[in-house]
Amino acid sequence: MLEYPMLTLLVIAPFAEKVQQAERQRQAVEAIEKAGRYVFYDYQIDEFGRVQGKMDASGEITRPEPPYPAWLGKLVGDDFLSDVACIICEYGSNGDVVLQHARGLTTLNRLHFGKLVTDAGLENLERLTRLTELSLANTQVTDDGLEHLKGLTKLKRLSLRRTQVTDDGLECLRELTELESLGLSHTQATDEGLEHLKGLTKLTHIWLGDTQITDAGLEHLKGKSKLDFLDLSETQVTDAGMEYLNGLTDLEWLSLDGTQVTDKGLEHLKGVTKLKRLNLDGTQVTSQGIRDLQKALPNCKIYQH
């Protein structure tokens, strides 16, 4: 006689848990949107991870319709049928408050913050282990905050541009071996910091503009055969550093804007045959140097003003 109650329990228990989970998500979404932030569900993200929808002049976003009938959504609720995938915070948002509400949204895979996020707020990231994209650009985050990123081993894209991060913080990224894109422009990163990134062999995009990187630091880019985008603008890189780029055979986009590179350094780029875009603004490269390089790389667009 106990078989049927037990069977009923086995069927109802997962459903009840799903209902509770959906309600927790609904409450979190309501709180986050009340704070003026944008929340997107899984069906509003395309196969490339891009948010689908158009923003009008008033800031309102037209979003794709759910893939299920409207009556079903009204019956059980959108949060029962779909998972939150992305949160975008604009400038002026209190990111720490948003993170408090988002800490239980374990299906979240993309988080973008505008400015007001601190190290304390990043403690709430530790349960969000499905994150693949995180932007902390222009925030108040320091090395201490990066400690909370160590468990986010599925991260593929991370932006730390214009933060207070130093070499010590970059050591926290050692285990994030799935990283493909890393933004470090306008940070205090130096050559020593790049050494911590040696094991990140899947990197395809690196922004190092306006850092303290020198020629010695470029040696740590060896082995990153998948790298196709490299920003070295306004760094202390010279001709000597160009030798380390010769082995980046997949490199397609390179910015040397504001560096000390001359015609001599360009000789090392002649072997980077996939190069399509090269920015030489603010360098000492001559017209003759550009012509010589153009002969070796006929498919590369070279910019210098």
Helical packing angle, 3-34 and 95-102, nearest 10°: 170
Where are the strands (E) in the chain, listed by range? 38-41, 54-55, 61-62, 84-88, 110-112, 133-135, 157-159, 181-183, 205-207, 229-231, 253-255, 277-279, 301-303
At 231-269, the pLDDT tens digits run 999 999 999 999 999 889 999 999 999 999 999 999 999
Helices (H), 124-281: 143-146, 167-170, 191-195, 215-218, 239-242, 263-266
pTM value surpassing 0.85: yes
Q: Assign 256 to helix, strand or coil.
A: coil
Residues 98 and 36: their CA atoms lie apart, in Å, by: 10
Give domain status of residue 34, yes or no.
yes
Give domain status of residue 166, yes or no.
yes
Give domain status of residue 22, yes or no.
no
Q: Are 252 and 276 in contact (CB under 8 A)?
A: yes
Q: How far from 63 is each of 20, 56, 110, 125, CA to CA, in Å?
A: 26, 11, 17, 26
CATH of the domain at 183: 3.80.10.10
Position 1 pLDDT exceeds 50? no
Task: List residues bridging with 157 in a β-sheet.
Answer: 133, 181
Give domain status of residue 185, yes or no.
yes
At 80-92, the pLDDT tens digits run 889 998 888 876 6
pLDDT at 69: 86
Give domain status of residue 305, yes or no.
no
Q: Which two tokens stand for residue 141?
A: 């985050």
Range of the domain at 101: 30-213
Give domain status of residue 130, yes or no.
yes
* Residue with the larger pLDDT of the pair 198 and 182: 182
- Number of domains making up the chain: 1
